[in-house]
Amino acid sequence: MNHNWQPIIDKLKSSQKVLMTTHVNPDGDGLGSEMAMYHCLTKMGLKVCIINESPLPDEYRFLDPDHIISQYDKMKHGLLLEEFDLVFTFDVGGTSRLGKIGADLAKLNIPTICIDHHPENQISCDFKIVDEKAPATTCLIYELIKLMCPGLMDQKIAEAIFVGLMTDTGSFRFENTTARSFETAAELINLGVKPAYIHRHVYESYTPERMKLLGMILQRVNYEYDRRLAWFTVTIDDIRQSGASLDEIGGFTDFIRSIKGVEVSVMFLEVKPDRIRINFRSKGKIIVNAIARKFGGGGHNFAAGSTVKLTLKEAINQILPDVRKATRVIVVK
């Protein structure tokens, strides 16, 4: 990978107060990018804040023992935004994915750097490094840090980078896993990363409530096209009944995709009676981000999502036909 980092390095060297943010419902890649850059830039002497639209999910708390990451609150942070002379957005393909903080930042004209790996990244900013071949945004951060300040690399930075690489490749299983992914992982392990420790925090810290909800969902997966398409709903009632919380639902769609024969899995999550989050996961034959884009979302070829202002029934009726159409194409083959 050969990216032109120099304009970004120059910009960083003339900045003092940096704000970092990532997409709504942040994942290991967005959060790992933030924490890796946070540690690097604070070591360089910059003042850095991380403010995200959504709360920090439990399984990533270990990355932030000092509570550096805060959740955006317009009353609390609104006026402070003006004080930053540089903004970083990580792992974000479109401004709407930033939530309210994105809308408020857009009014301020602060120089913005965007580092991402989503195809068809549409975000408008002053400096942009987008590489859809990068398995994770943290791999791009790793490249930047190695170039800009290799001496500052340490175990904490390596851990944050590893978290993004591990989660975005589905623990080195997904289509985006390459020889380079393993080479990077090996370098990070040499810097002190303990993969078992990271894996335990991220994947083995589920609450019994989340597992109860997953159990409920598993009993009523809908299969179509000889089980190639699997879709399911998660209602407000299900969440209440299980005692789980909305931010614990990550991973359900990946889990359903893992069923034998399933090529594509789709989740319809009722966030509110008129607000449905849809997740699409594909094993590799069906491209799903085009469908997500049609409904105001986006993502990667085989992992995408969108949120629509519709009822659950309306969302199913409007979106499922497109998934069926895409599935039919591979049935015919």
Where do contacts with Mn ion occur on this chain (CB under 5 A)? 29, 91, 137, 168
Helix ranges (DSSP H) in the chain: 6-13, 28-43, 74-77, 100-106, 137-148, 155-168, 179-190, 195-203, 208-218, 236-242, 252-257, 289-294, 312-332
**Closest distance of CB 117 from Mn ion, Å:** 6
The per-residue DSSP string of 20-55 comes to EEE-SS--HHHHHHHHHHHHHHHHTT-EEEEEESSP
Strand partners, 222: 231
CB neighbours (10 Å) of residue 160? 29
**Closest distance of CB 139 from Mn ion, Å:** 9
**Closest distance of CB 174 from Mn ion, Å:** 11
**Closest distance of CB 138 from Mn ion, Å:** 8
- Please name the residues in contact with 112: beta carbons below 8 A apart, sequence gap of 6 or more: 86, 87, 88, 89, 105, 125, 126, 127
CA atoms within 13 A on the CB side of 164: 30
**Closest distance of CB 136 from Mn ion, Å:** 5
**Closest distance of CB 253 from Mn ion, Å:** 16
**Closest distance of CB 135 from Mn ion, Å:** 8
Please list the helix, strand and coil fractions of the chain in percent, rounded to the nearest 5, in that order.
45, 20, 35
Nearer to Mn ion (CB atom), residue 137 or residue 265: 137
Q: Which amino acid is at 163?
A: V
Nearer to Mn ion (CB atom), residue 29 or residue 59: 29
Nearer to Mn ion (CB atom), residue 137 or residue 242: 137
Residue nearest to Mn ion (CB): 29
**Closest distance of CB 33 from Mn ion, Å:** 8
- Please name the residues in contact with 42: beta carbons below 8 A apart, sequence gap of 6 or more: 48
Cα-Cα end-to-end distance for the chain? 35
Nearer to Mn ion (CB atom), residue 29 or residue 34: 29
Q: Is the dihedral of CA 28, 189, 5, 135 positive or negative?
A: negative
CB neighbours (10 Å) of residue 183? 10
